[in-house]
Structure 1
Amino acid sequence: MFEYRHALVRMRLGESDRQIAKTHLMGRRKLAQVREIAETLGWLAPDTLLPNDAELSLALAGRSPVQPSTSSINPFQNDVRDWVKQGIAGIAIHTALVRKHGYTGAYSSVRRFIAKLKKDNPTATVMLDFNPGEAAQVDFGSGPEIIDAFTGEVTKTHFFVMTLAWSRHQYAEIVRDQKVETWLGCHRRAFEFFGGVPGKMIIDNLKSAIVKASFHDPQVQRSYAECAEGYQFLISPCPPREPQKKGRVESGVKYIKNNFMPLREFRTLRDANEQLRAWVMETAGNRIHGTTKEKPLTLFAETEKHVLRPLPSVPPEMAVWAQVKLHGNCHVEFRRSFYSAPYRLVHQELWLRATEKTVQLFDGIELVAIHPRLPRPGSKSTLEDHLPPDAKAYIMHDPQWCLAQAEKVGPACLSFIDELFSDKVLDNLRAAQGALRLKKKYGAKRLEAACQRALDHNDIRYCTVKRILEKGLDVLPRPVFHEEVKEIYTGKSKYCRELSGILQ
């Protein structure tokens, strides 16, 4: 309207459309239309008042020579509106229109339609106010790739950032992952850095903190809930897909990416964190913040530091909770290591609680196992009482145990067991264990005799000893096997030739 009023003033001063167009105010065609309307309504008379913006807008409405075109998206606008509300990208919307509706238009049509939707339905937000010490906002951001100067190992990293909502003072740390234990450890170090605990944590719905995101009923990760109880702060997750609810830490992450990361070299992860800590305390903490117009470090030191909740006298133990399944081998897997639990709970869901030093397993509220934390992947911690009786007997009754038990029975039994273990093909551990178990049923004396008889016949098998005992052959007089053979082969028989010379 200002341009139209300016054009009317020049017309009233007697300037032609050509002269006005040279000022690049508007084109000659539009000036001609404006002059026609002004002459009709009497606006060019020197003694009349210029119309106000409302009158001018009403008079010029609908007189544009360029009529708005109809968008090719209109037949599908309901679908497009729903997709835009869901936050789907424009290129994905264009692909879906082509696939589902056979749309032949260009992506630029989709882009213009989406831009018009956003212009007609602008999103307005409210600037939230917080009292000193009331809240902190927490988030992760993608960090730099660090090439270790000594090993050459390339490490992908993340930023952990906790920003105090009132003073904008922040704690930042570069970490390797976003696991639960990393999330909890960063919270502990942030509280120690600030020297106190804010009353509320405004967070995103990352899996380390929120198991199930929901607008009304979010489900908090058990480990994070235990941390909140220990430090006495409230957890306030943002609604799903609404990160603007924690815009202060979002801005803090961008500030680190744009002002700290560029043009820096990091030798190791430790070196990167030392540089980041110095930057936070010197550059970031002493800048004039764009919103508060004050230095974050000054606001924190003078006011907010003194109203934070005090740290607990005994730091709460940081523990990771996870639901695990007890596999058929009587072990659960956690962080690529294995921990045993009682065999009666096989194929059931258990709760696992892991600290820096221990791993505990719970069946409901009952503690059923406790192990030392294994640092190396692939390691295994097994308690013998957790194994089924058969498996426990097999593991405990090794060859040395079998030989020791056989020696208690007698020399024949010891020789029999030793012959079993001398086999160069078969692992006869189960055979030896089975033979020794026959002692419970038949007694040591009969087992010794049965082993002797098996040795006499050179039949070193478990089933031989068992058959001898079952048929009572062990109580028969011991045969002199060599003399019997000699008698058979030196006797007169029409079925065999004289072999006495061979036996001499």
Structure 2
Amino acid sequence: MAEFSVGVNKSGVKYVKKSFVPLREFRDLADANRQLRDWVIQQAGTRVHGTTRDLPLARFAIERPLLARLPDVPPVLAVWSEVKVHTDGHIVYKNALYSVPFTLVGKQLWVKVTDTVVQAFHRHELVATHPRLRKPGDRHTVRDHQPPEAQAWLERDPQWCLAQAKEIGPACLAVILAMFNDKVLANLRGAQGLVRLREKYGDARLNAACERALTFSSPKYRTVKVILDKALDGQPAATTQATEPADTYLNGGRFGRDLQSLLLH
């Protein structure tokens, strides 16, 4: 069927309103339908259409076998938009963030957005599917989209760090607890790095280094690492020796000048 402008397609409504409705009376809905059917068969359907130059009923007879039933499920309305993958592996749509495979960082993607789902496509291939987020700033991240090192970081949560530290030794556990007593998330990376030092130095040396760090009230990853790098973990912790007061502050001590001259100035 030929395509015409919206105005042409709507002109049929005007034709019915002007040619059928005026000067007619209907007893009920059944009577209105009956009169309308007779009017279509006898008049409207047998005239020459002003645009197609065809008889409407003759054209309908040709097109009728091609008509199909409406789908049982309404079609899904979607909006398409072009986006760029940020360095953190996320795209942004309506101020909400959605992850995509990290290999696509810097690439241009197309997103198909429905009322409930956001889908990302790269070169016509579906690469990510997310539930639609409504609140600006919300983020939906699929762990498999992250690089391997990021996935490992996400898996090594505070509980994992505490369990590893407990295996290493009491001093290591005390250092991790001290780090988490400050700010858990801010110190999580440091805690992960600290327990990973066991792979290079072993549990015994790492626990000894943690004990030395605690002695100096510095339960930090950097402190423990420096102790291990400089092999200070095997040395006894230095003890603080009290400095004896000068003779001036002990019995018999005297000022260099007499008290009267000091007070009279």
> Shorter-chain TM-score category?
0.5 to 0.7
Q: Displacement, 1:332?
A: 1.9
What is the TM-score when the length of structure 2 is the normalising length?
0.63
Which residue of 134, 139, 143 corresponds with 1:376?
134
2:66 corresponds to which of 296, 304, 308: 308
The alignment status of 1:400 with 2:151, answered yes or no, reads: no
Judge conservation of contact 1:355–1:373 (CA < 8 Å) in 2: no
Any conservation in 1 of the 2:158–2:184 contact (CA below 8 Å)?
Answer: no
* Deviations 1:350-372 (CA, angstroms, capped at 9, x unpaired): 23345676544332244433x24
2:192 to 424, 433, 440: 433
Offset from partner CA, 1:195-223 (integer Å, 9 cap, x none): xxxxxxx36xxxxxxxxxxxxxxxxxxxx
The answer to whether 1:323 aligns with 2:74 is no
The 1:496–1:414 alpha-carbon spacing in structure 2 relative to 1, beyond 3 Å, is farther
Structure 1 residue runs without a partner (length 5+): 1-133, 136-201, 204-244, 257-278, 499-504
Compute the displacement of 1:341 (Å): 0.6
Contact 1:412–1:452 (CA<8 Å) still a contact in 2? yes
State the one-letter code of the partner of 2:140.
Answer: S
Name the residue aligned to 2:221. Answer: 462
- Counterpart secondary structure, 1:473: coil
In structure 1, what residue type is equivalent to 2:228? L
How far the C-alpha of 1:326 sits from its partner, in A, is 1.5
Partner of 2:44: 293
Q: What is the percent sequence identity of the aligned residues?
A: 40
Residue 416 of structure 1 and its aligned partner are, at CA, apart by 0.4
Query: What residue is the counterpart of 1:332 in the other structure?
Result: 91
Structure 2 unaligned spans of 5+: 17-28, 47-55, 251-265
**Structure 1 residues 64-103: aligned runs within 5 Å:** none
Partner-residue secondary structure (3-state), 2:209? helix
Secondary structure of 1:333 counterpart: strand
CA contact (8 A) 2:98 2:130 kept: no
> Secondary structure of the residue that 1:475 maps to in structure 2?
coil
Aligned to 2:110, the other structure's residue is in SS state strand
**In structure 1, how many angstroms separate the alpha carbons of the residues matched to 2:8 and 2:36?**
17
Question: Larger Rg: 1 or 2?
Answer: 1
CA distance in 2 between partners of 1:448 and 1:361 (Å): 48
Counterpart of 2:91 in structure 1: which amino acid?
V
Pairing of 1:435-454 with structure 2 (within 5 A): 435-454=194-213
Structure 2 letter corresponding to 1:386: H
- Quickly say closer, same or farther: Cα 1:375–1:383, change in 2 above 3 A: closer
1:306 partner letter? R
* Alpha-carbon distance in 2 for matches of 1:317, 1:293: 32
Contact 2:99–2:140 (Cα < 8 Å) also in 1: yes
Task: Give the Cα separation in 2 of the matches to 1:496 and 1:392.
Answer: 65
Cα distance in 2 for residues equivalent to 1:394 and 1:472 = 28
Taking the aligned partners of 2:202 and 2:122, their CA distance within structure 1 comes to 42
Aligned CA distance change for structure 1 residues 408 and 496 (closer, same or farther; 3 Å): farther
Aligned-pair CA distance for 1:254: 7.3
Report the secondary structure of 1:428's partner residue. helix
For 1:251, the equivalent position in structure 2 comes to: 11
Report the counterpart of residue 253 of structure 2 in structure 1. none
Query: Using a 3 Å threshold, how does the CA distance of structure 1 residues 496 and 251 change in structure 2: closer, same or farther?
Result: farther
